[in-house]
Structure 1
């Protein structure tokens, strides 16, 4: 086995399209994805490669892809040492993509592979980013659609760099845009915000998002809430200002209420009993204080993580088929190259 650090030295190809697909426990989805994706990319008038990034799966997804790689040389599998999260897996895929164009899509088939040729055609017109915007979100409940709608608009109100609404990771980027993105070394990576921050000439293409074809989503409510908080605190200091404004409003209301009690007691002769109201006010103000401390703590925590300068991810190995057409028959094991982390 060769022990190298592969991605800083990858040879780039101007005629190659890299399709990056991060996944976690998608064994049921991968055969369906390849069944639809391979015929589409095979008809492209350019070379292509599929770069799968296994984010610590334990359901046999990697084993299925390894068996597929034995038959298809244009598929490469990057296995991370554990589950680092989708943003880290996506970064790993971008770093290991060799193409002049890099297309990102999910493994759940909600991003239709049949749109890839149209994306390539728009990219060849000279833009750096072909951004796919969701026109509809079939297969998702009303609450998820509503919360996503509100989140994107709240995020844009808070951020200085506008983030296109109703978009995900489904996009095609030029090598120039990818290199600009990879130059950002921060550890707290909210990729949708980083895509927008980089900028570059962009064309937005609306599409209808399909329901998941098989398996179950890995994003529950708490996971989406955490992602939303990550996005807000990574690209804006607005939550700190909101906490300050809330404290100011609470202090003003408290002063007015205190003045009213004094007036009632001294002028009107009304002796205030008010233990329940006192407890309610203290609880309310305590909640505001804890909320403010929590928001400040979120920013302090991000600074702490950045200061340690740990890698965004660690690679377990990279698996690709190195068989050469016309060569003598070799064992399956010999045709696969396992590039391990040195």
Structure 2
């Protein structure tokens, strides 16, 4: 690499690209080649921070080779797998950019070439420009339908935080928006909701999402369900309200049903009660109670995890772009006092 195209160890880049990685060794070389070409055309000083989230393949080795060949490359190696939302936070904690941070996945479903449009929106004065999917190639109908339903349900459940539909983490964030985001240290992280929560001016950039270029997705339907629970419980108390309304509705139904039984007994006598009807009522009421307790338990469990005040993640190694002299202060793994 020519010396003119490298970044000085003590210089702050204008743009930082954060890439969380989990078992992405098959695509990292191709991803970095496309990313470097895009950033070279943009022409601003830049760095990329790869976050190895406890990968079980050769991802760390590939990242180390990229760092040795390109002074723009830095990386964070976490001590184990903490999940994508935490890995993304670890990368954002290491951003040195004076201008903006860009978040993108390594699987090439989100095209690095779109970064130029995101940067153009940021230079127009927008604090956060996010990529919104027009087409989701390579995904089953069930996954597309459940994703569409999730975003629209979230839009109805959250009144004060409007989470953009059909969008992921792929976006650009201005320095001031990032500085507002970093102090949010909750453990149950739903980054799309946190991005929306900090506010500031936003703009969408449409694109067609491609299939994965290699490897396999770590998200299955069970993980997606739990991810949806994080989003709903992290940014809405609607499930608690729904449990309350459901309890009131059942109580009203029980009062009407009891009144009807009393009236029938006074008018027509009391025949021998049927076992099936008793079991149906008991099982129905028991089911409602268990659902309500489950909803309360989801929120209580989150309070329990937050009260322990454990760090969000543990870093095994940090190698900033430009060499060891560019080392940041220790990552912000503890919530503010």
Structure with more strand by fraction: 1
Contact kept? 1:104, 1:169, Cα under 8 Å: yes
**Deviations 1:246-295 (Å, cap 9, x if unpaired)?**
11111222222222233333313461532112112211111111111111
1:125-158, CA deviations, whole angstroms, 9 ceiling, x for partnerless residues?
1111111111121111111111111111211211
User: Which residue does 2:30 correspond to in 1?
Assistant: 32
Report how far residue 52 of structure 1 moved.
0.4
Q: Which moved more, 1:238-247 or 1:299-308?
A: 299-308
**CA-CA distance at 1:340 after TM superposition:** 9.2
Partner of 2:74: 76
Q: Do 1:315 and 1:340's aligned partners in 2 also have CA atoms closer than 8 Å?
A: no
Map Cα deviations across residues 210-252 of structure 1 (whole Å, 9 max, x no partner): 1111111111111011011111111111110001111111122
- Please report the TM-score for the alignment, with normalisation by the length of structure 1: 0.88
Corresponding residue for residue 174 of structure 2: 174
Matching of residue 111 in structure 1 with residue 113 in structure 2: no
Please, what TM-score do these two structures have when normalized by structure 2? 0.89
Q: 1:117 to 1:318 in 2, by over 3 A?
A: same
Q: Once structures 1 and 2 are overlaid, which stretch shifts more, 80-89 or 260-269? A: 260-269
Alignment of 1:150-165 (within 5 A): 150-159=149-158, 160-165=160-165
| Whole-Å separation in 2 of the counterparts to 1:68 and 1:161 | 38
What is the aligned-residue RMSD (CA, Å)? 2.3
What's the counterpart of residue 133 of structure 1? 132
- Structure 2 unaligned residues grouped into runs of 5+: 1-8, 332-337
**Separation in 2 of the partners of 1:306 and 1:202?**
30
Secondary structure in structure 1 of the residue aligned to 2:139? coil
Mapped to 2, the partners of 1:157 and 1:320 lie a distance apart of 41
Alignment correspondent of 2:100: 101
Q: Counterpart in 1 of 2:187?
A: 187
The aligned counterpart of 2:309 is: 309
* 8 Å contact kept, 1:75–1:320: yes
- Corresponding residue for 1:329? none
Q: Which runs of 5+ in 1 are unaligned?
A: 1-9, 324-333
Aligned residue for 1:213, secondary structure, equals: coil
Query: Kindly tell me: are residues 321 and 250 of structure 1, through their superposed partners in 2, closer, same or farther at Cα, counting changes over 3 Å?
Result: closer
8 Å contact 1:73–1:320 — kept in the other structure?
no
Counterparts in 2 of 1:211 and 1:299: CA distance versus 1, 3 Å: same
Q: 1:175 to 1:336 in 2, by over 3 A?
A: closer
Measured after TM superposition, the shift of residue 335 of structure 1 is: 12
- Deviation at residue 336 of structure 1 after TM alignment: 12
Residue 20 in 1 paired to residue 18 in 2? yes
**Does the 8 A contact of 2:131 with 2:207 survive in 1?**
yes
2:96 and 2:322 mapped to 1: Cα distance? 16
Matches within 5 A, 1:217-296: 217-269=217-269, 271-296=271-296
- Distance, in Å, in 2 between the alignment partners of 1:63 and 1:213 is 19
Q: In the superposition, relative to structure 1, how do residues 189 and 340 fare at CA in structure 2: closer, same or farther (>3 Å)?
A: closer
Partner residue of 1:123?
A: 122
Question: CA shift at 1:36, angstroms?
Answer: 2.2
Number of residue pairs aligned between Structure 1 and Structure 2: 321
